[in-house]
Amino acid sequence: MRLPPSDLRVDRETLEREFLNLAQAEGVSDIEELNAILDRAVALKEIMKAPGRIDAIARYVADHFRENVNPMGFKAFLVAVDRQACALYKQALDTYLPPDWSEVVYAPAHNDDATLKKYYLTPDAEKKVRKDFTKKEKFPKILIVTEKLLTGFDAPVLYCMYLDKPMRDHVLLQAIARVNRPYEDEDGLKKPYGFVLDFVGIFERLEKALAFDSDMVASVIQNIDTLKLLFKKYMEEDAPKYLPFTQGWDDKSKERAIAHFEDKKRREDFFAFFRQLQNLYEVLSPDAFLRDYIKDYQRLTELYKFIREEFSDRVYIDRELSAKTRELLRQHASSSNLALPGAIHELGPKELALLKQSDTTETIKILNLRKILIKTVDEKAQSQPFLLSIGERAEALALAYEDRHLTTQEVLAEFERLAQEYVESDKERQDLGLDANEYAIFASLKPAVNGVTSQLAKAFNSLFLLYPDYKWNEQQQKRLRAELYKVLLPLVGAKKMVATANSLLRLQRV
C-alpha cells in the first residue's frame, strides 16, 4: 500500500466524517438527518470528480503504471467513486496512455447520459474484456471499475489497485486480498505482493474502515514503508556476508565463490535470501529509496545468476529473475563475465584435453563437465539415443556429488570417464558395426551386463523391430516388456531386470 502525493488526495478528515459515517447510517431514523448526510455525500462526490482532480490523478496513474507496473508484466484496477467517475477517468487516461490499454466496466442505467453510454459493453463484449484481462499478453491492461469485478473476479495477473473510492469491511478486505494474491506462471512471471495506491485516505485510518481482527488485516496489507525497512535490513544486515563474493569476476574470484557455495546448504540459504530480496525490489523499484542500494543489489543479482547457473542440473534459464531484476542485469552485466573459468562449449577430444590440463580447481572441472554433458545430451539425444544412458549416469553422479556420497576426486574421475565415453562413442559404434539404435542399446546395457557384445545389442534391437508402435500402443509395450524380461533375467538377475528394461524402453528410436 502507498499514499500518492497529498495534493491528489481528498481530505482524510472530510472522508471520515462523511463517507465512513454514511456507510454506518443504516440505523439513522430521522429522515432529515439522513437526507443531510446524503446531500453531503453527493457534494463530496462532486469534489472527487472535479476536472482538475480527475486529470491530475489520471496523469499520476498513467506515469505510475508505465514506470512501475507495466515493466513487471502485470495489470491494474482503477476504482472510481461512481460510474460517471469511471467514464471521466477513461477520457482522461486516454490522453496519457494508448486507448486500448484501458477499459471501463460498469452496469448501464435507464437515465444515463451520452458520456456514460459511450462506454457501455454488451454482455459478450464484457465477457471478452474479462477474459482478455486475465491474459498478460492481451489488452486491456487497466480496468476502470466502481462496483463490478471488485470481489468476484479472478485475475491473478492483477497487481495494482488505484483506489479512489471509499470502501470498508468485507468489500475493502476482499478487494485488497484479490490484488494481493501471490502468482507465478510458467514463464517465471512472479507476483510476490499486490499493490494499492490510496487516493482517499482509507489506509490512514484503516482500523476504522476494517472491522476485523488485526491479524486478518495484516495478512492482506503491508505498508510500503514496512517493505522499505525490510529491504534496508536485508541489504545492511544480511547482504554483507555475500557481497565479498561479488568483488570482481576474474577467474580467481569465481573460484572463491564456487568453493564457498559448493556446500548445498549455503547455496540454498543464499537462494532463499535473494528471492526474498528480489520480491521486495520488484515492488519498490523504481523508488528513489533504492539508489543507495542499487549497486550492491546488482552485484547480488550477478552472484545469484552465476551460482544458480553453474550448479544447475540443466541449462539455466533466468525465469527465476523478476522482470525488473532481469532488466537491471541486462543493462549492467556481461554474460562472459559470469561464465565458468575454463568453460568448454563443445565436447570433443581437443576440448576434453584442454579441460584436463587447465589449472582450474577440481570443483570447477566437475561443473564444466556436468554442464557440457547435459548440453550435449539435450541437443543430440534425438539423433544419438545412446546419449540418454550417459545423461542418466551423469545425473546420478551429480546427485551423489551433491549428497557427498563420493569424494571430489572420485566424481571428477567419473565425469571424465563419461565424457571420454562420448568422445570415443562414434569410433566404437563404427568398429562394432552397429547402427544408431543398436549402439544406443549397447551403451544402455553396458553398465548392467558384463561383457555385452554387438550381437546381443542386435538381438535386443530385433525385439524392438517386432513392436514398432510400443511407444503409444499399450498392448505392444506389454508384449515387448515381457520379451525383454525373458532375455534380461539370466543376464542381470531379477533385481536389475526391471530397471534395465525401463532404461531400454526410454531410449529414443531413430
pLDDT digits (tens, 9 = 90+) for 474-496: 999 999 999 999 999 999 898 89
Q: Please name the residues in contact with 392: beta carbons below 8 A apart, sequence gap of 6 or more.
A: 503
Helix 436-445 vs helix 408-432: angle between axes, to the nearest 10 degrees?
Answer: 140
pLDDT tens by residue, 146-179: 888 876 687 888 888 898 887 765 667 667 767 7
pLDDT band at 16 (very low <50, low <70, confident <90, very high): very low
Give mean pLDDT, residues 209-234. 63
Helices (H), 65-187: 83-93, 114-117, 123-133, 169-179
- Tell me how far apart the alpha carbons of residues 398 and 392 are, in angstroms, rounded to a whole number: 10
Q: Please name the residues in contact with 16: beta carbons below 8 A apart, sequence gap of 6 or more.
A: 201, 205, 208
pLDDT band at 250 (very low <50, low <70, confident <90, very high): confident
By mean pLDDT, which of 45-59, 189-203, 279-293, 407-421 is the weakest?
189-203
- Tell me how far apart the alpha carbons of residues 133 and 101 are, in angstroms, rounded to a whole number: 10
Q: Using a pLDDT cut of 70, give the percent of the chain over it.
A: 81
pLDDT band at 15 (very low <50, low <70, confident <90, very high): very low
CATH of domain 6-222: 3.40.50.300
Helix (H) / strand (E) element for 300: namely helix 294-310
pLDDT band at 130 (very low <50, low <70, confident <90, very high): very high
pLDDT band at 446 (very low <50, low <70, confident <90, very high): confident
Greater confidence (320 vs 490) lies with: 490
Q: How many other β-carbons are positioned within 10 Å of the β-carbon of residue 175?
A: 24
Q: Using a pLDDT cut of 90, give the percent of the chain over it.
A: 28
- Tell me how far apart the alpha carbons of residues 476 and 485 are, in angstroms, rounded to a whole number: 14
**Exposed, middle or buried, 292 (CB in 10 Å: 0-12/13-18/19+)?**
exposed
Q: The C-alpha cell of 443 is what?
A: 551403451
Is residue 27 pLDDT above 90, yes or no? no
**Exposed, middle or buried, 77 (CB in 10 Å: 0-12/13-18/19+)?**
buried
Write the DSSP symbol of residue 81: S
Give mean pLDDT, residues 258-286. 87
Q: How far apart are the first and last CA of the chain?
A: 58
pLDDT band at 222 (very low <50, low <70, confident <90, very high): low
Give mean pLDDT, residues 111-135. 92
Helix (H) / strand (E) element for 103: namely strand 102-104
pLDDT band at 1 (very low <50, low <70, confident <90, very high): very low
286 preceded by cis ω (within 30°)?
A: yes
Give mean pLDDT, residues 22-38. 51
Mean pLDDT for all residues in the chain: 80
- Residue 221 near residue 173, CB atoms below 8 Å: no
Greater confidence (239 vs 193) lies with: 239
The owner of cell 472535479 is: 50
Is residue 359 pLDDT above 50, yes or no? yes
Greater confidence (275 vs 87) lies with: 87
- Tell me how far apart the alpha carbons of residues 303 and 429 are, in angstroms, rounded to a whole number: 42
Is residue 397 pLDDT above 70, yes or no? yes
Is residue 11 pLDDT above 80, yes or no? no
**What three-state secondary structure class fits 458?**
helix
pLDDT band at 185 (very low <50, low <70, confident <90, very high): confident
By mean pLDDT, which of 20-29, 273-282, 436-445, 460-469 is the weakest?
20-29
- Residue 106 near residue 139, CB atoms below 8 Å: no
- The pLDDT, as a whole number, for residue 169 is 59
The domain segmentation of the chain, as residue ranges, is: 6-222, 227-338, 342-432, 451-510
Going from the C-alpha of 222 to that of each of 61, 206, 216, 475, the distances in angstroms are 20, 12, 12, 58
Write the DSSP symbol of residue 122: -
Helix (H) / strand (E) element for 507: namely none
